[in-house]
């Protein structure tokens, strides 16, 4: 068995005449965290959607734990947990019932789903809220519930799309601590984020993507230095030509 939990090869996504993702390739080792950093419209979310099989691949190949996503999307989904930007929680159900409903999608029996749900709510610090309605939870609690829900099928890979957007600093740190606990348990993590500090806290490696193309790829600790920049944030801003865009905006204002 390969040491990679995820392999993406020459992945392309086209929408009519627009190419959102342009032949990108990368790998994620088992037990590691890979972050994808890029501006809005760079192709980050589109890439994730192809990986968890909610949008079809135009060309290229994705394999998760040796399973070809295009050939067997249902089986590949059993290997992953997904935390999307939209939580898609059922506000008519209690916290625990949301967990159980999601588990049933993986053919998990009610008895096991309830037991697993209670264990996972304890893991994310929501064990005192299992009988509460979802609408009564704070934003940070809802994100932790979505994380717990993504774990009901014991996935080997967790995929997170901008997981802490809109959360306060305290809630972000609580969420980060749970992700680091999962990593210590051997779970692999793939995430997108706009926050450089989030990537530096969570990730082993980072891809910087812009206009559907990978423009940098390497260790979070060494990438900036390898490219001749002071830190990851400055490397990102320079590589994505943020300075040039800022100058153009100022010139337009004047």
130, part of any domain = no
The values of phi and psi at residue 12, to 5°, are -130, 140
Predicted pLDDT at 249: 41
> What is residue 135's DSSP assignment?
G
State the residue range of the domain holding 63: 1-79+202-254
- pLDDT per residue over 74-98, tens digit each? 999 999 999 988 888 999 999 999 9
pTM for this structure? Answer: 0.90
The answer on pLDDT for 10 being more than 60 is yes
- Domain presence at residue 213: yes
In this structure, is residue 168 part of a structural domain? no
Residue 216: what pLDDT?
Answer: 96
Under 8 Å between Cβ of 7 and 188: no
44 has a pLDDT exceeding 60:
yes
The two three-digit tokens of residue 176, written as one number: 């980060």
* Per-residue confidence (pLDDT) for residue 244, from 0 to 100: 54
Lowest mean pLDDT among 25-34, 80-89, 205-214, 219-228: 80-89
Indicate whether 43 belongs to any domain.
yes
- Assess whether pLDDT exceeds 70 at residue 252: no
| Residue at 179 is within a domain | no
What are φ and ψ of residue 252, in 5° steps? -65, -40
Domain count along the chain: 1
Helix (H, G, I), strand (E, B) or coil at 166: coil
| Domain CATH for 219 | 3.40.50.300
Residue 17 CA to residue 185 CA, distance in Å, equals 43
pLDDT by residue (tens digit) across 137-161? Answer: 999 999 999 999 999 999 999 999 9
Query: Residue 207 in contact with residue 47, Cβ under 8 Å?
Result: no
User: Per the domain annotation, does 246 fall within a domain?
Assistant: yes
**Domain annotation covers residue 148:** no
Asked, for residue 145, whether it belongs to a domain, the answer is no
Report the mean per-residue pLDDT for the chain. 92
């Amino acid at each position: 068995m390969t040491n990679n939990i995820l392999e993406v090869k020459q992945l392309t996504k086209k929408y009519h005449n627009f190419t959102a993702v342009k032949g990108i390739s990368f790998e994620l080792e088992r037990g590691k965290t890979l972050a994808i950093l890029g501006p809005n419209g760079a192709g980050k979310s589109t890439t994730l959607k192809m990986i968890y099989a909610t949008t079809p691949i135009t060309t290229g190949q994705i394999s998760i734990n040796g399973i070809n996503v295009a050939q067997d999307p249902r089986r590949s989904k059993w290997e992953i947990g997904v935390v999307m930007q939209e939580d898609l929680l059922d506000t008519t159900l209690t916290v625990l019932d949301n967990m159980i409903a999601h588990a049933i999608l993986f053919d998990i029996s009610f008895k096991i789903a309830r037991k697993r749900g209670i264990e996972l709510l304890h893991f994310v610090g929501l064990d005192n809220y299992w009988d509460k309605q979802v609408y009564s939870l704070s934003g940070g609690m809802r994100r932790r519930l979505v994380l717990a829900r993504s774990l009901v099928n014991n996935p080997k890979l967790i995929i997170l799309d901008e997981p802490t957007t809109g959360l306060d600093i305290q809630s972000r740190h609580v969420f980060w601590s749970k992700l680091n606990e999962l990593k210590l348990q051997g779970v692999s993590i793939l995430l997108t984020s706009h926050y450089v500090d989030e990537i530096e806290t969570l990730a082993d490696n980072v891809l910087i993507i812009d206009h559907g193309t990978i423009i940098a790829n390497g260790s979070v600790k060494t990438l900036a230095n390898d490219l001749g920049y002071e830190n990851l944030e400055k490397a990102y801003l320079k590589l994505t030509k943020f300075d040039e865009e800022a100058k153009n905006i100022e010139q337009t204002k004047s």
